[in-house]
Structure 1
Amino acid sequence: MPGGRRIAAVTDAHFDVTAGECLALVGESGCGKSVLASALLGLLPANAQATGRASLGDLDLVSADERTLARTVRGRLIGLIPQSPAAHLTPVRTVRAQLAETISALTGVRGRAAVRAATESAAVRAAFPLGHLDRHPHQLSGGLAQRAATALALVGDTPLLLADEPTTGLDRDLVEHTVDELRRHVDGGSGRALLMITHDLAAAERVADRVAVMYAGRIVELADADAFFGATGPRHPYSRGLLRALPDRDFVPIPGMPPELGDLPDGCAFAPRCERVTNACAALPPITGTVACHHPHVPEGIRARPEEDIRA
């Protein structure tokens, strides 16, 4: 709340992630994706407030106290691959020591040889080189720190894995290895789920079952991944702009810049950048079905409502 102002970083975030599913949450920097992740784990700054309900089984994560979050949720019910892994690794301990401690705490593996074997197996799973296990975090590149954080997050095989930009600093081969390993976390009838926050739409296409698109703190579209990335395409103009900006598509950037969360317009936040804008966009669009837009794109063969019957 800079200067005493209250800023809504995330609003209208309605979605679910079911067992065996990967939901990719995408959007430009500053739209609120990481704030949402922090809210789920009770990691918001002290001056921040979260309201609503986020259910994990019978537990409401939003109202849970710190003791419950620390002893029951973090690492046991929800694993986290953080956006800034170096800041989450203990600086005075080697990667091996941190992995071994996590393995002992979460899996019950005991004995020096067994823990060592499990530690090296966890490193291989995240493509972390065994020759670097005895290094401290400050001795790692950004990509290696990312892989160390991924190895730590995967140890507990948690019911929900929350991966916040898990491919940052990785080359394309390692991106594919990482997202494939994340996909294996939810496959095979394990009952586990993955919420992946990412800028990397190619990674999202490779791993996701559904895609949620966030703009200016609001989820504006929720779509099946095959339709979103396929011939049907997304319905919200912002979502379509994200895809068009990819190098292997039109490579055309979305004009303009996202608004400041503390200075949002009264109506549709995307309207100043949208090629489909009309007077109706001066009002906040309702969430209709799976898209929050006055003038969403309509797949061919489906008749539009009168207010949707416009062309880009």
Structure 2
Amino acid sequence: MTTSAHDQRHRASDTPAPDVLVDVHRLSVRIRTPLGHVVHALNDVSFGLRPGRVLALVGESGSGKSVLAATILGLLPANAQVRGRIMLHDGGESIDLLRASETRLAAKVRGRRIGLVPQSASTHLTPVRTARSQLEEAVRALTPRGHRRFGASSRGQSLTITERVRELAGHVGLDPADLALYPHEMSGGMAQRVATALALAGDPRVVVADEPTAGLDRELVHLTVDLLRALASEGRTVLLITHDLGAAERVADDIAVMYAGRMLEFGPATQLLSDSWHDYTRGLLRALPAGGLVPIPGQPPSLTDLPPGCAFHRRCPGECSGDLALTWFGERAVACR
């Protein structure tokens, strides 16, 4: 994704840019708890996802990243209130993901147009079934009228379910013998690859990966994000949700920085990481080993009790402008500069 002045105009006019697959426009999510508190999970978030690119959504826990993934897939709890718009433009069809029925989301979107690689992959696998059994079920459910080869170069060639499962496994780096394993027999990296294969079973154009590297050692982190990069290179759109700036730096084309439900900075990855504009982004980089492992002082605010104005101002070493809105400068944007 590259967001530019052109994108600002398309959002202002409600007309999507021609190559945007998923257009998120001024999205806000409120969730009321059983005790009557209101969680301000997302606040006025806008961005677009384009084919062939990886957008990394980064930030501390509680910044709203995973809520955003759930909102895109229509998986929010019934007590959530949503404002804004999320449009999916694919195959000549536009679907309003916030207003589509559960039946339409299940039949047209989840797995088929948007695949999810879930957080803590091993806990999302069925414990009493092998990887092969789970992949066969996914292929059967998502492609009941013929099974197409993975990748644009060979689309349209029919495969049996067994052949399709073998192809998916090979695509994510699983050996044939791995398919006979149960989840408790898998390493964390292997479970992650099985979860990725399940997300690809319906050949979606959009892949949402929610903290796919959590709990993995650095070598497995690299293998996991390199696979996501390969998916984008095939023409898919990848939304990588992560707290790991190192992983984002390795594969992302663009980075969006989230804090307390708001987007604070956005830009091409190389520019944002080498010349960060927001003090929060600078703080995240200083907290990395390469930055000296300097923690950001304080704690993020409670999403049920956000302070007035900028939610970061109590932790910010700079002078706060008080401007919450993103200001665009070509391909980059920042909430306070």
TM-score range, shorter chain: 0.7 to 0.9
Letter in 1 for 2:334: V
**2:224 paired with 1:178:** yes
Match of 2:23 in 1: none
Query: SS where residue 100 of structure 1 aligns?
Result: helix
Q: 2: CA distance between counterparts of 1:176 and 1:157? A: 23
Match of 2:241 in 1: 197
Deviation at 1:38, TM superposition (A): 0.3
Q: 2: CA distance between counterparts of 1:168 and 1:92? A: 24
Deviation at 1:114, TM superposition (A): 4.3
Match of 2:189 in 1: 143
Match of 1:48 in 2: 80
Q: 1: CA distance between counterparts of 2:255 and 2:263? A: 10
Letter in 1 for 2:51: A
Query: SS where residue 7 of structure 1 aligns?
Result: strand
Query: Which residue of the other structure, out of 124, 147, 154, is the alignment partner of 1:88?
Result: 124
CA contact (8 A) 1:146 1:168 kept: no
CA contact (8 A) 2:139 2:164 kept: yes
Query: SS where residue 93 of structure 1 aligns?
Result: coil
Query: Which residue of the other structure, out of 37, 47, 52, is the alignment partner of 1:5?
Result: 37
Q: 2: CA distance between counterparts of 1:157 and 1:202? A: 28
CA deviations 1:199-232 (Å, max 9, x no partner) are: 12111111111100000011111111110123xx
Query: Which residue of the other structure, out of 160, 166, 190, is the alignment partner of 2:206?
Result: 160
Letter in 1 for 2:278: H
Match of 1:310 in 2: none
Deviation at 1:158, TM superposition (A): 1.0
Query: Which residue of the other structure, out of 246, 250, 262, is the alignment partner of 2:304?
Result: 262
Match of 2:101 in 1: 65
**2:335 paired with 1:292:** yes
Report 1:22-33 matches (<5 A): 22-33=54-65
Letter in 2 for 1:221: E
Q: 1: CA distance between counterparts of 2:215 and 2:167? A: 22
Deviation at 1:46, TM superposition (A): 2.1
CA contact (8 A) 2:120 2:212 kept: no
Query: SS where residue 266 of structure 2 aligns?
Result: strand
Q: 1: CA distance between counterparts of 2:43 and 2:123? A: 27
Deviation at 1:106, TM superposition (A): 3.4
Q: 2: CA distance between counterparts of 1:252 and 1:126? A: 36
Match of 1:273 in 2: 315
Give % identity: 53
Deviation at 1:141, TM superposition (A): 4.1
Letter in 2 for 1:216: A
Structure-1-length-normalised TM-score: 0.85
Letter in 1 for 2:139: I
Letter in 2 for 1:14: S
Q: 2: CA distance between counterparts of 1:89 and 1:205? A: 29
Quote the RMSD (CA, aligned, Å): 2.0
Structure showing the higher strand proportion among its residues: 2
Match of 2:155 in 1: none
CA contact (8 A) 1:22 1:207 kept: yes
Gaps of 5+ in 1: 297-312
**2:71 paired with 1:39:** yes
Q: 2: CA distance between counterparts of 1:266 and 1:274? A: 14
Match of 1:223 in 2: 267
Q: 2: CA distance between counterparts of 1:141 and 1:176? A: 15
Q: 1: CA distance between counterparts of 2:184 and 2:105? A: 28
Query: Which residue of the other structure, out of 85, 94, 115, is the alignment partner of 2:161?
Result: 115
